């Protein structure tokens, strides 16, 4: 059997993975290595950081410089890596719980600072690893193990949150839209500054089972049926957009990054102290 051109990016000795059969995490992982390959990135200059959760286990399988850190702290560790080794392409990956609940503070401040790194949010609308508790992206009314009669909270819109916080590249796709997902991750990897890519992914084991979509394919079908492009969404009424997943590139602007500003400040300070 021909070995995939992407196999070299995986730690074969760590396989098989721990994910449930059909879990979308594997699709995101493949899309990521596909994007790295298409971009021709030097694997020795790629650092990937994750926290804790099913999706965060991704760093165990990826054959780059990786750090599997603490729940919610991946963005903080990623920031440290970027400051220490600015020549690295730093990518932070994690679930909606990890990145937006316990790690929400780090997430918004990395966006605000325009930290030069890519943050990939694996949004399965639930805490998968710990048994299906609701998360900040569980939609209102949906069932989780901690909201058995329906979630009473409104959810975060990850794209809106990232844009409002200051991220300079923001995009959304789903695990059904493989080619789009690869393209958007590629653009995020190319981007200078804080890049956020939200990927809607299936946790059929918990989110799907609690919400009448117990098979992976049902959730993939949901993503297929409910995704609308940004262009199309602009022509739709607000009520028509309920439950729809607007996909595509929402923001892509150029702005000086945190590390660039810091470099400039250091150079200015050195020049000033030499004059004194």
Residues at the site binding ligand SF4, with contacts judged by CB under 6 A: 19-20, 23, 25, 54, 124, 128-129, 203-206
Residue that has been written with the tokens 């569980």 in this structure: 138
Each residue 173-212 as x (binds ligand TPP by CB under 6 A) or -, in order, gives ------------------------------x---------
CA distance 126 to 230: 25
- 210: number of Cβ within 10 Å: 20
Residue carrying the six token digits 């030097």: 42
Among residues 33, 48, 52, 161, the one that binds ligand TPP under rule CB under 6 A: 52
Q: Is 98 a residue that touches ligand TPP (CB under 6 A)?
A: yes
Note the Cα 248 to chain centre separation in Å: 14
CB of 159 to ligand TPP, least distance (A): 17
Token code pair at residue 131: 């048994």
Q: Which residue is nearest to ligand TPP (CB)?
A: 95
Among 55, 147, 173, 259, binds ligand TPP (CB under 6 A): 55
Residue 97 binding partner per list ligand TPP, ligand SF4, none, with a CB distance cut-off of 5 to 8 Å that depends on partner kind: ligand TPP
CB 156 within 8 A of CB 100: yes
Helix (H) or strand (E) holding 96: helix 96-97
Nearest distance in Å: CB 97, ligand SF4: 10
Residue 226 to residue 163: CA distance in whole angstroms: 22
The contact set with ligand TPP (CB under 6 A) reads 52-55, 71, 94-98, 122, 124, 126-130, 135, 203
């Amino acid at each position: 059997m021909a070995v995939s051109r992407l196999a070299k990016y995986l730690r074969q000795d760590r396989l098989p993975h721990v994910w449930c059969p059909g879990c979308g995490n594997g699709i995101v992982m493949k899309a990521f290595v596909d994007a790295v390959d298409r971009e021709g990135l030097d694997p020795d200059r790629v650092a990937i950081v994750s926290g804790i959760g099913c999706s965060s286990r991704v760093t165990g399988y990826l054959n780059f410089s990786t750090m599997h850190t603490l729940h919610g702290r991946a963005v903080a560790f990623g920031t440290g890596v970027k400051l220490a080794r600015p020549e690295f392409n730093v990518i932070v990956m994690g679930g909606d719980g990890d990145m937006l609940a316990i790690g929400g503070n780090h997430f918004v401040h990395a966006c605000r600072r325009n930290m030069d790194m890519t943050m990939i949010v694996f949004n399965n609308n639930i805490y998968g690893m710990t048994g299906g508790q609701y998360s900040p992206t569980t939609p209102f009314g949906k069932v989780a193990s901690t909201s058995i009669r329906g979630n009473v909270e409104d959810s975060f819109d990850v794209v809106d949150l990232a844009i409002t916080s200051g991220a300079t590249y923001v995009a959304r796709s789903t695990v059904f839209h493989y080619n789009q997902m690869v393209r958007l991750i590629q653009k995020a990897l190319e981007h200078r500054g804080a890049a956020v890519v939200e990927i809607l992914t299936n946790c059929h084991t918990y989110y799907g089972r609690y919400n009448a979509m117990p098979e992976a394919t049902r959730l993939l079908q949901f993503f297929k049926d409910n995704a609308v492009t940004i262009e199309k969404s602009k022509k739709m009424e607000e009520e028509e957009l309920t439950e729809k997943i607007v996909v595509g590139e929402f923001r892509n602007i150029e702005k000086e990054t945190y590390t660039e500003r810091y470099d400039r400040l250091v150079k200015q300070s050195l020049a000033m102290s030499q004059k004194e």
